[in-house]
Structures are given as structure tokens and as C-alpha cells.
Amino acid sequence: MTDQRETVQRWPHQLHGSLVILKKNARLYYLKPPVLIFGVLFPVFFFLAFKMGRPIATGNIVPGMVAMALWFTSSAVGPLVTPWERSGKTYERLISTPVALPAILAGDVISGFIFGACFSAIPVLLGLVLTDASVRNMSLLIAGIIISALSFASLGVLLSSFPARTPSNTMLLSNLVRLPLLFVSGIFIPIAKMPVWARWLAPISPLSYASSLIRSGFGQSAYFPVWLNFFMLVLFTVTMFLAACKFHNIWRGKGL
């Protein structure tokens, strides 16, 4: 009973620690050039490469653009924070504080979530103003953006768990993971029209479910049912966060 009471009493302290980590990340890392390049410019270039020269109605690609912006921005912060902390010799100081490791990583996840969710509003607004796209289910679109941003931010924190000393090494690993998952997600080619081998790979990408959910919010046909999209994105979020905690503990035990 005493242990349970102490655990409950520690929750506000750990939550406060997560919010302090969030504030620190926002002030130090949101405007770092690698975050802006890989998180903001990447989806713009991909959009231009996808749209230019192809007879596709602009309104039909707005949901894909929103999902792709969310994918890159939400997962851009996490992979860079820990390497910067390690190279700045502040990582050891951070993990020696009374704040538990899951609370520290939760702060990183919230940082990526807020960064991605805020930036995803830009393609939504541009799509509504400049194209014939329209939102048919606003609550579904907002819920889809929230759970997708959480899932992608958890992926970013998982990628940061590998013991890289420089941000460039982590971003290389990050793009090796994110780009293949992008191409099999149905963003560029609908999953139903992809080759059989790609249709088999599409379910392993969290972006597939996010894209499907956002398309439903815009009133477009989606490959997966809505309930499955929510279920898989929650499953990806929990699994990747727990895996990140596990890997961080393993590397800490080895002194890396």
C-alpha cells in the first residue's frame, strides 16, 4: 500500500519533468537546421516531385501531403535530441536527474508530437484555400492527426535510442527507415494499385494507417477501415515507446 502511494505521489513529479524536457527541446532544437531541413523541406520537395508533370487533381493529393508532412515533422525532433545531448556531454547529466527515463523519453515524444501537429496545419490550410479539397469529417481528421503525430514522434524517439554520437549518423539511420516506409504507404500510389509485394509490406508502415485515416477525414476512399487505423496507430505508439525505453536501458548498461 505504501509503495503504491509513493508511486502515485511520484507521477506529478515525473509529469513535471516531462514538461521541462519539452520546454528545453522546444527552445534548443525546434529551429535547428537539420530539424527544419529533414522535417519541413523534405515533404515540400517530395510533393513537388510527385505533382509536377502528372495529371492529378490537386485536391486529391492534399490528404497525402498532410500525412507526409506529419510523417517527417513529427519524427524529425526525436532522432536529433539524444545525439546532440551526447555530443554536448549533457546526456549523462540528464539521465542522472531524479526524472525517470520513461518520463525523459515522454518529453521527447511530446516535443515531436507538438512540432508535427502544428506544422501539419499548414498543408491543411493551404489545401483548403488553394485547391478544391474539403474536410468532410473534422473530428476524424483532428483525431487522426493527433494519434498519427504521437505514433511518428514515438518512432523518432525509438530511432534516437541507438548509440550515435553525432546527429548526422542518426539522421542517416532515420532516413534509411523512414523513406522505405514512405514509399510503401500508399502516399504516392494507392495501396490497391501497388504491386503485390508492396501491398504485403504496406501494413508494416504506420504511415499507411495515418494516410488512410486522414483520407477518411477529407471524405476520400481509404484502404483500411477507420477502427483498424486507430488500433494500429495506438499499437505502433505503445510498442515503439516501450522499445525505445528498452534500448536506452540496454545501451546505458553498456556505458554507451
Q: Could you give the C-alpha distances from 72 to 34, 48, 77, 120, 240, in angstroms and in order?
A: 12, 15, 9, 10, 17
Does any domain span residue 106? yes
How high is the pLDDT of residue 52?
Answer: 66
pLDDT in tens, the chain (256 residues): 555 555 556 777 788 888 888 887 777 777 777 667 766 677 677 667 666 666 666 666 788 888 888 888 888 877 777 777 777 777 777 777 778 888 888 888 998 898 888 888 888 888 788 778 788 888 999 999 999 999 999 998 898 887 776 777 777 788 888 888 988 888 888 888 888 888 899 899 999 999 999 989 888 888 889 999 999 999 999 999 999 988 888 877 766 6
Look up the domain containing 197 and give its range.
Answer: 12-254
Does any domain span residue 5? no
Does any domain span residue 17? yes
How high is the pLDDT of residue 50?
Answer: 67
How high is the pLDDT of residue 99?
Answer: 80
Measured CA angle at 140 (ends 138, 143), to 5 deg? 105
240 CB burial (10 A radius; 0-12, 13-18, 19+): buried
How high is the pLDDT of residue 206?
Answer: 93
How high is the pLDDT of residue 150?
Answer: 92
Does any domain span residue 3? no
Residue in this structure with the C-alpha cell 518512432, named with its chain if needed = 155
Does any domain span residue 137? yes
**Overall domain count for the chain:** 1
Handedness of CA 35, 36, 40, 44 (dihedral sign): negative
* Longest Cα–Cα distance in the chain: 67
How high is the pLDDT of residue 148?
Answer: 93
10's grid cell:
511520484
How high is the pLDDT of residue 136?
Answer: 85
Does any domain span residue 6? no
Backbone phi and psi for residue 119, each to the nearest 5 degrees, phi listed first: -70, -25
How high is the pLDDT of residue 45?
Answer: 72
pLDDT tens-digit series, residues 68-90: 888 888 888 777 777 777 777 77
Does any domain span residue 134? yes
Does any domain span residue 68? yes
